[in-house]
Amino acid sequence: MSINPLNAEWNTPRQTPPFGTIRVEHYSPAIREAIVKAEENIERIAEQCEAPTFANTIVPMETASEILDRAVALLLNLNECSTTPEMQQTVMDLMPVITRFENRVWMDERLFGRVSKIYEGREDAGLTDEQCQLTEKYYQRFVGNGVNLDADSKRRFAEIAEELSTLTEQFGRNSLADTNDFVLHITDPADLAGLPDTVVSTARQEAENRDLQGWVFTLQAPSYRPFLAYADNRKLREQMWRAYNSRGNRGNDNDNNATARRIANLRLEKVRLLGYRHFAEYKLSRTMARETKNVTAFLDRLRQACIDFARRDLDEVRCFAKECAADFELQSWDFAYYSEKLKRERYDFDSELLRPYLPLDSVRQGIFDLYHRLYGLTFVENSAIELYDGDVKVYEVYDGDRFMAVLYLDMFPRESKRSGAWMTEFRDQSNIGDNEVRPLVQVVCNFSKPTADKPALLSFNELETFMHEMGHAIHGMLSDIHYPSLSGTSVLRDFVEMPSQVMENWCYETDFLNTFARHYLTGAPMPEEYIDKIRRSKNFQAGWLCLRQLNFGAVDMAFHTLVEPMDGNVRVEDFEHSAMTELLPPIEGCCTSTAFTHIFAGGYAAGYYGYKWAEVLDADIFSKFKAEGIFNSGTAKEFRDRILSRGGSSHPADLFRGFMHRDPDPDALMRRCGFI
C-alpha cells in the first residue's frame, strides 16, 4: 500500500510541499487520519496526572496537530490560488469534519481546566511576555469557542460552527464562479478606442488562449480596471462595471444573497450564546480597538474629515466630464474614465506611461534589493523546490548565512485563482525546544501577464500592491519567536495591515524608484519628471478613495452589529446601500457585499476598518523613516527587532511604543492625505 504523501515525511528542500506527488484524492484520507492522531495527542495532554504547567499543557498543544495543520494549510491555500471543482468539493466535504475536531478540542473542559489554572497563575509563574501572551490567547480561545456553555448551548454552538465553515467556503466558491462566468469578447477594433496598447495586447493574448478571434476582457483586475479607466465606449464600460458589481447578486446558482444573510445571522446567534450583544462586540474584544464605540468613533472622525474632500473630488470629475462634452449624468462606470483624464490634464501625466519602466522582473529585484539594504536579506531562486503552477517562482531567503524562509511568488491571474492579492503561509515559523522551523511564505497577486511581444509590465497601482503583500511577507519571514500561534502575521486584526502599508510608502520615494525603474527596452531610468508627477498626484482624489474604504468598513460593521436576525426578504444590496454614504446614485442589481470575500469568506468580519486603523499607524511609523532616512539601517533594524520579528508576542500598542517611543499620533493619516 502506497504511503499518502500528506502524512509522510517530506524529504524535500527545506521540507517544502512535494506538489508533484500530491493529488486531490490524498487530502480526505490524510486529514481524517491526521485528526485521529491529533486527538490522541490531545487526549494525552488532558489525561495527564501532573499539575498543569505551561510546559506540560500549552507547549504540547502547540504541536499536537502539526501534521493536520500542514495538510489543511496546503489544501486551503491551494484552493484559493490553484483550485479545481474536485478540490472545491473536497474542501466543502472536509470543513465540517475539521470544525468538529476543533469544537471537540476547544470545548474540552479537562483541557480548559488545565489552561485556566495556568492563566490564573501566569503572573507568578515566571513566564516570559511571549508565554503570557500565548496563555491568554489559549484561555480566550477556549472561552470564545463555548467551553463554559451548558450542554444544549454547546451542541448548538458546534452546529453553527460547522454550518459556518461550509457557508464561508460556498461564498468564496460562488464569487470565483461569477468572476469567471463573465467575459467581454470584442471583435470590432473600434470598440478598443482609448485603451492603451499594453491592455489591448493582453486582451488579444487572452482571446488566443481561449481560441477566439479579436480581444477578450475579463473581470480580473489587470483587465477590468484599465478597461473602466480608458475605454471610450461608454456602453461597454457600463457592461463591464455592472458585471463586476453584480457578482454573487445575479439570481443564478452562484447567488450569495441567502448565503450572506445566513452567515450574518449565524454569527449573531453564535455570539449571543456567549453573552455578547452582537458579533462585532465579540470580535472587537480581541483587537486594538477593543469596543464597537471606538471603531464607530474612528470611522466617523475619518468620514467627517474626508467627506467634503470626497464631494469636491466628485464635483471636479462631473465638471470635467461636462467640459469633455458629456451630455449625461455621471454614473459609476464613468468615474474612473473621467478621473483618469482629469488626472492627465491636471498633472500632464498619463499613468500608462509608467508601465514600460515597471517590468515585473525589475520590480521584484528592486524589492529584493530594498530588503537587502534594510534588513540584509538575500533572495536566491531555487529550481529544485517543487511548484504547484508553472507561473510560480520560488526563492530561499537568507540573512547572511542564516536561512530565513522560502518565498513563493504567484503573480498572474487564472481561472483557478480568486481575484485580489494576499500573503499566506504553507508553514509558520516556530522555535520550540531549539527546534527552529522557518516559514514557507506565499505571496499571491493578479498582475498583468506578459504577452508575445512584451514582458509583464506593472501599473503603478500594481507596484503598490506588490509592495503591500511583500510587507506582509517580510512580517512572516523575519518572525523570530517560539510559538507558531503567535508567529509572523498572527497578530491582532487591526494591526496586521500596518507592516504591509508601511512598505507602500517607498513607492513614492525617488531614491527607491531610481534603484530599479528602468525602461524594459532601452534601460533608461524613469524620467525625474515622471517621479515628480507621481509624488504630486499622490493625494489626487484622496477624499474619494478614503470614503470608499470607509464605506466598505461601514457595510462590514452593519452586518456585524445586527442585534436581530436579518429577515429573509431583505435584499443584501438594499441593506448595503443603507449603510453607505454614497455620492453617486446606486445601481439596481449591483452591490459589493455579495462578493465581499474579506468579510464573508476571510478573516475580516467586523475587522475591515482595520485597513484604515493600520494606516494611521503606518503613516506615523514612516514619518520616522522619513526623518532618519528611508534606507537607514539603524531605523530598519529597530523596526525589525521591535515589531517585525515579534509577531504577536506582545500587545501591538506595546510594540508600537517600543519603536516610536510614544503612542500613535491620531492625525498622522489625515496629514498625509491632506485633510488637515
| Active-site annotation, residues | 469
Can you give the length of the chain in residues? 676
Instruction: Give buried/exposed letters for 469-507 (b at 16+ CB in 10 A, else e).
Output: bbbbbbbbbbbbbbbbbbbbbbbbbbbbbbbbbbbbbbb
**Phi, psi (degrees; rounded to nearest 5) at 568:** -65, -15
Q: Which three cell numbers stand for residue 522?
A: 532601452
H or E, element range at 215? strand 215-218
Q: Which three cell numbers stand for residue 246?
A: 453584480
- Give the largest Cα separation in the chain, rounded: 82
| Cα torsion through 338, 340, 342, 346, rounded to 10 | 180
Helix (H, G, I), strand (E, B) or coil at 424: strand
Tell me the pairing of strands 440-444 and 402-410: parallel
- Location of C-alpha cell 455592472: 242
Rg (CA), the chain: 25
Tell me the pairing of strands 183-186 and 393-399: unpaired
The CB density around residue 409, as the number of other CB atoms within 10 Å, is: 22
Environment class of 394 (CB within 10 Å of its CB; exposed 0-12, middle 13-18, buried 19+): buried
One-letter identity of residue 665: D
- Integer Cα distance of 49 and 53 in angstroms: 12
Among candidate residues 143, 5, 12, 24, the one with its CA nearest the CA of residue 88: 24
- Integer Cα distance of 334 and 234 in angstroms: 7
Alpha helix (H) residue ranges in 505-541: 510-513, 528-536
